[in-house]
Amino acid sequence: MEAKDLFQVSMETLIESENSDFMVFKVIEGKVKNLSGYDEWSEVIEIDETTFKKLHLNLCQKVGRIVRSGFKDRR
């Protein structure tokens, strides 16, 4: 299931999943168009700052596990 579909069920559903195929970013003063690659994104969902912090932490943890497992494989 895609990250946006999991998020639409609930934020907790996305957090509890193994899905890390999403991005979170902070927009300052509404300048989203200045973000690199903005035109290439298929969908943008606006979230509040609390949700941003939770999803950002979750994404960092998921990607961190992927990176650490890659380093273990190289030993």
Q: What is the pLDDT along the chain (75 residues), one digit of tens a residue?
A: 899 999 999 999 999 999 999 988 877 777 766 666 666 666 778 889 999 999 999 999 999 999 998 876 655
The tokens for 52 are 């941003």
Report which of 2, 27, 3 is spatially closest to residue 55, judged by C-alpha positions: 3
pTM (global) more than 0.85: no
